[in-house]
Amino acid sequence: MKVEALVPDAASPQMAPRQLEKSAFAAALDAVGSALGRATEAESAFAAHHGSLQDLVLERARADVTLAVATAAAQRSAQALQSILNMQI
């Protein structure tokens, strides 16, 4: 018996798009984290009497909206993936 290694006919997939997706996802997570960090800093500044209530409310609202958008995007992605996985072949 003679065994030969299988060689795919198609070219190997490029790694650049996959790396781009990872960096875009990481950038989105960094943006959410920085918004939450700014809100925490504004709360600390207000508690130490160095910041205003307006800054506190504004940063908290920005963080809440950013977190809500990220959560909605994650839920939509999960729903889309679930729909794809439920498709019959």
Residue ranges of domains in the chain: 26-85
Q: Is the pTM of this model over 0.85?
A: no
With tokens 């205003």, the residue in question is: 52
Residues contacting 41, CB < 8 A, separation 6+? 59
Phi and psi torsions of 81, nearest 5°: -65, -40
Q: What is the spatial distance between Cα 70 and Cα 75, in angstroms, rounded to a whole number?
A: 9
pLDDT tens per residue across all 89 residues of the chain: 677 777 767 665 565 555 555 677 788 888 899 999 999 999 999 999 998 999 999 999 999 999 999 999 889 999 999 999 998 87
- Under 8 Å between Cβ of 62 and 41: no
Give the pair of three-digit tokens for residue 65: 């909206």
